[in-house]
Amino acid sequence: MSSTDIFTRLSATLAARKGADPTTSYTAKLFAKGPDAILKKIGEESAELIMASKDGKAEEIVFEAADVVFHVLTLLAFHGLSVADVRKELERREGVSGIEEKQSRAAKLLNPGKGNHHD
């Protein structure tokens, strides 16, 4: 087994499924249906995770959380992104107050071009 983590391996596998036969691969079938099908699965799996959490059954919570993560990684792969991109963003946010980080995003939305000029 490779020394890379499961998220990295899964991201690579999902990216490889983009060209696979939809009749032989669940992921290839999702890719063939397009982003709406993937988003629908994320919504369904998220609802199932919410219900599992309300029931308070740890095993079901973990199972449903894995389904959500799988489908989010599938969406990332559909867009040519991977867990490495998410990891990079989380590393950027590490040590930054959640309140501060949200305020910086709000400021960027209000001033979309500000600070991006290279004079």
15: domain CATH number is 1.10.287.1080
Is residue 118 included in any domain, yes or no? no
Tell me whether residue 105 is in a domain. yes
Reduced to 3 states, what is the DSSP secondary structure of residue 43?
A: helix
CA distances from 74 to 9, 40, 60, 103 (A): 13, 12, 21, 29
Expressed as residue numbers, the domain containing 13 is 6-110
Digitized pLDDT (tens) for each residue of the chain, 119 residues in all = 555 799 999 999 999 999 899 999 999 999 999 999 999 999 999 999 999 999 999 999 999 999 999 999 999 999 999 999 999 999 988 887 777 767 776 667 777 665 444 44
For residue 51, being part of any structural domain is answered with: yes
Number of domains in the chain: 1
pTM over 0.85: no
